[in-house]
Amino acid sequence: MRALRMGSVAVLGTFLTGCYTLQSTRGVVPPVGTIMAFDINDAGRVALGGSMGPEIAQIEGRLIERDSGEYVVAVSSLKLLRGGEQVWRGERARIKTEYVSSLYEKRFSTGRSIAMGAAGLGAIAIIAGQAIIGSGSTDSPPSPPGGGETIRIPRP
């Protein structure tokens, strides 16, 4: 029964998670509130290096405001040039348009989510199958020496 409950929780978690991808906006800026990623060019690395670090490759976050010369973003993470990622907690950053080489929009990926859900269900089916079939021997546990009685002596 416990395996069934654990399986139910895992299935629910798998379906609620979903997969997302970054897709190019092709120069069109999505509406305010959209989660976006900005590839930062060399000029942007130099300009933003003092506040965000010199090795910024990409900034990801929610677009808060957009005017003709800059984006205001609630930053959720930074991807670094040599790999690695820094997690932020929604701090606001102003990114000038000339610091950005590419724009991406974070979108829900139906195909990947279905594949992940199927993989999760397969794993749950295997775990549940082992719980139902059982694993272990049918031998009875060994009896204690001395006729089957044990004496417990407390430790001081």
Residue 15 sits at φ, ψ, to 5 deg, of -75, -30
Question: Between 41 and 108, where is the model more confident?
Answer: 41
Residue 118, CA distances (Å) to 9, 24, 55, 62, 145 in order: 15, 27, 38, 30, 51
Over pLDDT 90: what percentage of the chain?
Answer: 43
Taking the C-alpha atoms of residue 73 and residue 29, their distance in angstroms, rounded to an integer, is 13
Handedness of CA 35, 40, 46, 49 (dihedral sign): positive
Secondary structure element (H or E) that encloses residue 126, with its range: helix 110-133
- Confidence class of residue 74 from pLDDT cuts 50, 70 and 90? very high
Asked if 120 contacts 14 with a C-beta cutoff of 8 angstroms, the reply is yes
Secondary structure element (H or E) that encloses residue 116, with its range: helix 110-133
Averaged over 39-62, what is the pLDDT?
94
What pLDDT sits at residue 105?
Answer: 92
